[in-house]
């Protein structure tokens, strides 16, 4: 079980307390956190995060590179599959990932 997050804060449940999530929703939330945090920036776990912040506008094959970097970041979550990555060509780069975990699917937007 984990606490649901929304926009960087706890998501309140119907009782006003932080909402609890588990199973596939929890795994997808963990994946989103790993994609949004730059690799090495979390002092308590330097292996947490992704290299997505290394992407630069104008790089060739930007979406393919983002897909590879996302798969690398989520290697510790084998239940989560990165189905696709779509990058904007403008600054700042925005990457939209489509993730799948069992029957749950979601899109995660990462702003770089």
Q: Where is pLDDT greater, at 18 or 8?
A: 18
CA distances (Å), origin 111, targets 20, 33, 81, 102: 26, 13, 20, 26
**What DSSP string describes 49-110?**
SBSGGG--TT-TTHHHHHHHHHHHHTTT-TT-EEEEEEE-SSSSPEEEEEEEETTEEEEEEE
* pTM score over 0.85: yes
Residue 5 has pLDDT above 90, yes or no: yes
Instruction: Report percent pLDDT > 70 for the chain.
Output: 100
Which DSSP symbol is given to 20? Answer: E
Residue 7 has pLDDT above 90, yes or no: no
**Mean pLDDT, rounded, of the chain:** 95
* Segment 67-92, tens digit of pLDDT: 999 999 999 999 999 999 999 978 88
How confident is the model over 49-57, as a mean pLDDT?
Answer: 95
Q: What angle do CA 9, 15, 18 make, to 5 degrees?
A: 25
Name all domains of the chain by residue range, CATH numbers in brackets: 2-111 (3.10.450.40)
């Amino acid at each position: 079980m984990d606490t649901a997050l929304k926009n960087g804060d706890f998501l309140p449940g119907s009782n006003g307390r932080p909402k609890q999530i588990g199973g596939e929703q929890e795994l997808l939330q963990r994946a989103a956190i790993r994609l949004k945090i730059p690799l090495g920036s979390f002092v308590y776990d330097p292996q947490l995060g992704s290299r997505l912040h290394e992407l630069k506008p104008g790089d060739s094959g930007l979406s393919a590179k983002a897909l590879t970097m996302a798969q690398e970041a989520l290697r510790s979550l084998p239940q989560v599959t990165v189905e696709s990555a779509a990058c904007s060509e403008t600054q700042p780069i925005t990457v939209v990932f489509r993730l799948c975990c069992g029957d749950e699917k979601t899109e995660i937007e990462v702003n770089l």
